Amino acid sequence: MASKKSPNPIDIHVGSRVRLRRMMLGMSQEKLGEALGITFQQIQKYEKGTNRIGASRLQHTATVLKVPVSFFFEDAPGTPEEAMGFAENQPHSYVVDFLSSSEGLSLNKAFIRIKDARVRRRIVDLVQSLSDDDTPA
């Protein structure tokens, strides 16, 4: 049987986290590929989850993207409940969705550049006051 296998949900998740972090750094697929010694097409396949990232390549990717390897597995599907401890039981894909959007990415980059913690707090308060949600952060 030569049926095409669908990507593993963990591989898709890890790939989406690679894409998220690469975009947060403003790095192109070409630049990440160069740093890892592979083509941008291979980066595309990793980010879509169609190709699995091996352990040594994932470690190298984490180094290049300046995150711990665990970053790629945060909120991964199928996390055993006992491993979650007191963590909430719902996935936080909305954070990834937001940071993957151009608005979310721009807002995040600009927000990170604000050094004064009081100013950042006032911005959070402003955004909350403009939203329909009155839930405190």
Give residue limits of the domains in the chain: 1-77, 101-137
Please tell me the predicted confidence (pLDDT) of residue 26.
86
Cα atoms in the Cβ-side hemisphere of radius 13 Å centred on 85: 1
pTM for this entry: 0.64
Three-point CA angle 70, 106, 97, nearest 5° = 50
Distance (Å, whole) CA 22 – CA 124 = 25
Reported as a single tens digit per residue, the pLDDT across 13-61 is: 999 999 989 988 889 999 999 999 999 999 999 999 999 999 999 999 9
Confidence tier at 11 by pLDDT (50, 70, 90): very high
pLDDT of residue 80: 57
What's the rounded Cα separation, in Å, for the pair 30 and 39? 7
pLDDT band at 91 (very low <50, low <70, confident <90, very high): very low
Distance between CA atoms of residues 113 and 7, nearest Å: 37
Q: Is the pLDDT of residue 86 over 80?
A: no
Mean pLDDT of 4-18: 87
pLDDT of residue 37: 97
Instruction: State the pLDDT at residue 133.
Output: 61
**Under a CB-based contact definition with an 8 Å cutoff, are residues 25 and 62 in contact?**
no
pLDDT at site 7: 83
pLDDT of 101 reads 75
pLDDT confidence bin for 89, thresholds 50/70/90: very low
List the one residue out of 17, 56, 8 whose CA is nearest residue 36.
56
Report whether CATH 3.90.320.10 matches the domain 1-77. Answer: no
Both structure tokens of 12: 């898709």
Q: Copy the structure tokens of residue 65.
A: 């993207």
82: confidence class by pLDDT, cuts 50, 70, 90: very low
Identity at 26, one-letter amino acid code: G
User: What is the spatial distance between Cα 136 and Cα 19, in angstroms, rounded to a whole number?
Assistant: 30
In whole angstroms, what is the distance from residue 94 CA to residue 75 CA? 11
